[in-house]
Amino acid sequence: MADRYDPTQAEERWYRVWLAAGFFRADPASPKKPYCIVIPPPNITGSLHMGHALDNTIQDILIRWKRMDGENALWVPGTDHAGIATQYVVERQLAAEGKSKEDLGREAFVARTWKWKEESGGTIIRQLQRLGASCDWDRLRFTMDPGLSRAVREVFVRLWEEGLLYRGDYIVNWCTRCQTVLSDLEVEHEERDAQLFYIRYGPLTLATVRPETKLGDTALAVHPRDRRYAKYLGKTLEIPSVEGTIRMKVVADQAVDPKFGTGVVKVTPAHDPADFEIGRRHGLEVRQVIGFDGKMNARAGQYAGLDRFECRGRIVEDLERLGLIEKIEPYQHSVGICYRCKTVVEPLVSTQWFVRTKPLAAPAIKAVRSGKIKIIPRGWTKTYYHWMENIRDWPISRQLWWGHRIPAWYCDRDGTVHVSRTDLVRCPECGGPLRQDDDVLDTWFSSALWPFSTLGWPKSTPELERFYPTSCLVTGFDILFFWVARMVMLGLKFMGDVPFHDVYLHALIRDLEGQKMSKVKGNIIDPLDLMDAYGTDALRFTLAALAGQGRDIRFGEDRVEAYRNFANKIWNAARFVLSNLEDYNPAVARAGEPALADRWILSRLATATSKVRKALAAYRFNDAAGALYQFVWHEFCDWYVEAAKLTLYRSDSPLARTRTQKTLVEVLEATLRLLHPFMPFISEEIWQRLRHQGPTIMLAPFPKARSKDLDRSAERDMAVVIALVTAIRNIRGEMRIPPATTLRAVLKPATPRATRLLKAQAALIQALARCDVTVDPRAARPAASAMTIAEGVECFVPLEGLVDLEAERQRLAKEIKKVEEQIAFLQGKLRNREFKAKAPRDVVEREKGRLTEQRTIREKLRVSLGRLGSAR
RNA sequence: AGGCUCGUAGCUCAGUGGGAGAGCGCCUCUCUGACGCAGAGGAGGUCGGCGGUUCGAGACCGCCCGAGCCUACCA
């Protein structure tokens, strides 16, 4: 074995083996308890970023854990057709060839996009495999597969039949670049500096940030109880303006805030969501002056053809010239921008399909309230309720070509609308020609069906029967509304049951400055680079260790390096074990009585095992990773392996040697199984070199903590040994005595039990602390020696000729100071009568014990210091 | 505007009512026979601030300051 772990070849090799052997496959016919996760389908345009790496590492940890634990684990993989993003990519390709999608026509464009998907859409799947994802790849799904498309149609038709779907003219968020409608969720908001223009409207003045929309004004509005303007209510005013004299009616509406600006607003139903509502309430005309291209249209008269923002400047100039601008104030407000291309969204009225969400939301709220769905961490439930309770209808049509085309047909002859599971050609009413709706459905519409469409719905399949509802959904909190909430609504609606029992929402990964990673900022950390540099296992372990955090993970590469070192540590521990096994005979080992160190490490392993299990069950991946790290490095490697060297190299008892070999192998093997969900590759690589049962660690049982291994007395005794070794090392370190110098240590135990223990473990202490040990309950302090107390045992280290005794004086003074701080603290606590009266008795007793202990230590240290002084 | 989250060692973060922790970084020593991607030792913290509850608060409550996120029809 090499002295360093090299991940590159092991990873590729094992993944190929696993895949070929079909270890990832789940069988719906298996009688084992089902455990199912459906992957949040990545976009086909995507390539693996840190968010995917985190999300999928967590899922793989869960799936591998459950699979090892004997459950029928199914992880369904797939990709998402990502309407806007994919169409954008192909349009850009066309543009490079000097063509537009219109040049190709719809059919050819869609064909071309399919071709692009076949060629480039699989990148992220290969990258997930690189990450070690143990998905059942035979079940790879795509949102536009025939089966899933059928599900989309079925849902659309049934919603229509039940009146949960409607088509209407509404003000929507329009992206003038993407040329499509956006749902509220797809609009981001950004605080921007702007100007607030105070414009004279006849006898009134009003404030606006969008003077260009004044051309579309169809009324003025004030608050109904605003006395200042009561006399104008219902009147129509003649107003001189840039377009000449215009006539405006003054209406009263609750939506107007009398305290803002002048308390008067201009109403532009065609270009402002609030105004649209006001317009509806008062039957106002919708006068559109900005086109879907973001330019002023013919109704804008002299301004026609100008870009909306250019027009703003021009109108302000013209108003100023006419003396109609009263003042301009600097103003900050939030602007809606397209989440894809960051273009400022234009509210526009158009005909769209909507889902009535209120009836769907009610059961979705109940599912969480009743505990049928558990959201982890808990804090997100509140956010979920708030959104669900204030839910608004969902516009689902998108003006794109790439996606599920809306299954609605219009008859121009009789004006009827037909929604159908099968394609229609002739009008069922009049036999006239039909034209299919041009739009496609929001990508999230098909994603919302993912947990059941991937399992075969609307067909009834063994998979659905077995795995629905799925067990857990793992995703980022940023798509709680986009995706999670909608899956819950549609799952309940069409399956009659929740889509999953647990939702684990993880944090978002940012850079060390807390900035979101983005190509524009150039602060992207590519998980593939990290895997190249440090190995997949190191990256996975890092992500698990960071997963416990709140909303952000500030990601620094040095953390990955640290866990690469951890992988190497495991590798070398295994190397140590394997290199000491040539003569190992398990049959002989069974006869050996375990020594203290053996009992101790087995007990620690049992503790680590239950910690890991508990942490995984609670989705506390950081705790699980921490427990593993602590155990492997600071218990197994730091102490047990070092202790093993004594019996392996220096003991003359063959039985002791075999027994140590047995412990080493057993602990290592179990540790590898514990590590496997986190570090699949290195664990398999080492496990295969050990004696093992079964073809792969993937299917070996996940360790259970055996209560017979929990050994309180071994832990207590080993704590004494460790404390003494550490104390002696401390003296060596503080006194600057080189490690090569063998010290002498005189141990003076205070009880017969301790005496027996120390006599039995003298050789171990000796080896670990590099010193010659004498155990003597009646020992007198040797002259010119350092002294310390650990676990009640006095320990003298003669320093004659080794160091300047002044250094020891200082060291002792430092220790005394520490002890005195403790004493003062404990005394203060115990002097408090209320503490003694009200605190639980065991707490009081513990503190009393500590106080006497610290006092004893202080006295001994003082005596030591005094002797040193007089020794001079 | 409302809601939520966070403020603990130089950095990144654990710590969900009883003796302030980890990783990295830093300082000293070590070429010890698994590992220098290592070993041993060490320095470093008024737990954002102020009040309150409690025998006891980094943890619970209130207010304040600071950072961030989400929701909203602030023209």
pLDDT, one tens digit per residue, over A47-73 is 888 989 999 999 999 999 999 999 999
ω before A469 within 30° of 0 (cis)? yes
Distance CA A589, CA A595 (A): 12
Q: Is 80 exceeded by the pLDDT of residue A774?
A: yes
> How does strand A219-222 pair with strand A244-252?
parallel
Helix-, strand-, coil-residue percentages of chain A, each rounded to 5: 50, 20, 30
Q: What value does the CA radius of gyration of chain A take, rounded to a whole number of Å?
A: 37
Distance CA A80, CA A117 (A): 11
Distance B39 C1' – A559 CA (angstroms): 21
Query: Which amino acid is residue A665, in one-letter code?
Result: V
Token readout for A836 is 């003694």
How wide is the angle at C-alpha A662 spanned by C-alphas A659 and A663, nearest 5°? 90
For residue A547, what pLDDT is reported?
87
Q: Smallest CA–C1' separation from A577: which nucleotide?
A: B34
Q: Smallest CA–C1' separation from A767: which nucleotide?
A: B32
Identify which of A40-44, A232-236, A849-853 has the greatest average pLDDT.
A40-44
Model confidence at A549, in pLDDT bands (50, 70, 90)? Answer: low
Which residue's CA shows the smallest distance to C1' of B22? A626
Distance B12 C1' – A553 CA (angstroms): 9
For residue A576, what pLDDT is reported?
96
Distance B74 C1' – A273 CA (angstroms): 13
Q: Compute the mean pLDDT over every residue in chain A, rounded to the nearest whole number.
A: 90
Distance B13 C1' – A533 CA (angstroms): 24
Q: Is 70 exceeded by the pLDDT of residue A474?
A: yes
Contacts of A772 (CB under 8 A, 6+ apart): A742, A743, A744, A745, A766
Q: Is 90 exceeded by the pLDDT of residue A737?
A: no
Residue among A808, A831, A830, A821 at smallest CA distance from A854: A821
β-sheet with A743-748: strand ranges across: A771-775, A743-748, A793-798, A785-790
Name the 3-class secondary structure at A666. Answer: helix
**How many CA atoms are closer than 13 Å to the CA of A707, on its beta-carbon side?**
0
For residue A391, what pLDDT is reported?
86
In chain A, the percentage of residues whose pLDDT exceeds 90 is: 52
Mean pLDDT in residue range A75-82: 95
Crossing angle of the two packed helices A805-831 and A841-871, in degrees rounded to 10: 150
Distance B13 C1' – A634 CA (angstroms): 20
**A97-139 pLDDT, tens digit each:** 999 888 999 999 999 999 999 988 889 999 999 999 999 999 9
Chain B nucleotides near the protein (CB, 7 A): 3-6, 11-15, 18-19, 22-25, 28-43, 54-56, 67-75
Q: Smallest CA–C1' separation from A538: which nucleotide?
A: B37
Query: Which amino acid is residue A498, in one-letter code?
Result: V
Crossing angle of the two packed helices A536-546 and A7-21, in degrees rounded to 10: 90
Which residue's CA shows the smallest distance to C1' of B71? A387
**Beta bridge partners of residue A744, listed in sequence order:** A772
For residue A511, what pLDDT is reported?
79
How deeply is A520 buried, as exposed, middle or buried, from its count of CB atoms within 10 A (0-12, 13-18, 19+)?
exposed
Which residue's CA shows the smallest distance to C1' of B18? A843
Which residue's CA shows the smallest distance to C1' of B6? A550
How wide is the angle at C-alpha A333 spanned by C-alphas A332 and A337, nearest 5°? 130
Distance B18 C1' – A844 CA (angstroms): 9
Which residue's CA shows the smallest distance to C1' of B74? A260
Which residue's CA shows the smallest distance to C1' of B69? A551
Identify which of A257-271, A332-346, A414-428 has the greatest average pLDDT.
A414-428
Q: Smallest CA–C1' separation from A620: which nucleotide?
A: B14
Distance B74 C1' – A207 CA (angstroms): 12
Q: Which residue has the higher pLDDT, A671 or A277?
A: A671
Distance B55 C1' – A854 CA (angstroms): 22
Q: Smallest CA–C1' separation from A5: which nucleotide?
A: B37
Q: Smallest CA–C1' separation from A568: which nucleotide?
A: B37
Distance B51 C1' – A191 CA (angstroms): 35
Q: Is 70 exceeded by the pLDDT of residue A447?
A: yes
Distance B38 C1' – A6 CA (angstroms): 17
Q: Smallest CA–C1' separation from A769: which nucleotide?
A: B40
Which residue's CA shows the smallest distance to C1' of B12? A554
**A303-352 pLDDT, tens digit each:** 989 999 999 999 999 999 988 898 888 887 888 888 878 888 999 988 88
In chain A, the percentage of residues whose pLDDT exceeds 70 is: 99
Distance B45 C1' – A820 CA (angstroms): 20
Q: Is 70 exceeded by the pLDDT of residue A869?
A: no
Q: Is 70 exceeded by the pLDDT of residue A707?
A: yes
Mean pLDDT in residue range A168-178: 87
Distance B70 C1' – A479 CA (angstroms): 12
Please count the other Cβ atoms lying within 10 Å of the Cβ belonging to residue A393. 17
**A627-671 pLDDT, tens digit each:** 999 999 999 999 999 999 999 988 778 888 999 999 999 999 999
**Beta bridge partners of residue A117, listed in sequence order:** none
**A179-223 pLDDT, tens digit each:** 888 877 788 888 777 888 999 888 888 888 899 998 888 889 888
For residue A872, what pLDDT is reported?
40
Q: Smallest CA–C1' separation from A732: which nucleotide?
A: B41
Q: Smallest CA–C1' separation from A260: which nucleotide?
A: B74
Q: Which residue has the higher pLDDT, A10 or A870?
A: A10
Q: Smallest CA–C1' separation from A478: which nucleotide?
A: B70
For residue A444, what pLDDT is reported?
93
**A504-547 pLDDT, tens digit each:** 999 888 877 777 777 777 778 889 999 999 999 999 999 999 88
Distance B42 C1' – A733 CA (angstroms): 8
ipTM comes to 0.94
**A779-824 pLDDT, tens digit each:** 888 888 888 888 889 999 888 777 777 888 888 888 888 888 888 8
> How does strand A408-411 pair with strand A434-436?
antiparallel
For residue A822, what pLDDT is reported?
85
Distance B17 C1' – A821 CA (angstroms): 23
Which residue's CA shows the smallest distance to C1' of B55? A835
For residue A870, what pLDDT is reported?
46
Helices marked H in A735-792: 752-769
Distance CA A623, CA A294 (A): 52
Q: Smallest CA–C1' separation from A261: which nucleotide?
A: B75
Distance B47 C1' – A170 CA (angstroms): 53
Which residue's CA shows the smallest distance to C1' of B11? A512
Q: Is 50 exceeded by the pLDDT of residue A871?
A: no
Contacts of A783 (CB under 8 A, 6+ apart): A798, A800, A871
Q: Smallest CA–C1' separation from A514: which nucleotide?
A: B68
